[in-house]
Amino acid sequence: MLYHVVCPAKYRRKIFTEKVESTLKLLCQRIGECYEMYFIEIGSDEDHVHFLVQSVPMMQPSHMVQIIKSITARELFKSHPEIKKLLWGGALWTSGYYINTVGQFANESVIKEYVQNQGKQYRQIYRGQLRLFE
């Protein structure tokens, strides 16, 4: 399964600097290794992050997002304590998120183009290839 996930930062704070994005990329790669998720693309627009994620069909989308948001929040706060000050010491992510499957009418290239054309400050954090799980 291939999903497009958008997670806004709490209060839409502009917390995704290049240093934070670099850490986020490494975290997502480690999450992928542990949870049968593969990040095809990760992009940021300072106050939110787009993920193009491939996962096994048995994993519920809500569980996948929960894993991504909880681990990245905990680890980003550890690595970049200055973020917590911008968020008044609270959560990294808003409670909501956007998720959609990528399929017949929204294939990988369409979603990739959409993600890249978001906002004025979009920066590609990571780009990988689709792969089949065994």
Instruction: List average pLDDT for each run of 10 residues in the chain, which is 134 residues long.
Output: 94 94 96 94 93 93 97 97 86 94 69 69 76 58
Q: How far apart are CA 63 and CA 37, in angstroms?
A: 11
Rounded CA separation 45/67 (Å): 21
Could you tell me the pTM of the whole model?
Answer: 0.79
Look at residue 132 in the predicted model and tell me its pLDDT.
58
Asked if 4 and 115 count as a contact pair (C-beta separation under 8 A), the reply is yes
**Cα–Cα dist 9/38, whole Å:** 22
Task: Give the domains, in start order, of the chain with CATH numbers.
Answer: 2-127 (3.30.70.1290)
pLDDT of residue 106: 60
Q: Which candidate, 40, 15, 42, 27, places its Cα nearest to that of 118?
A: 42
3-state secondary structure of 27: helix
Q: What φ, ψ does residue 30 adopt, rounded to 5°?
A: -70, -40
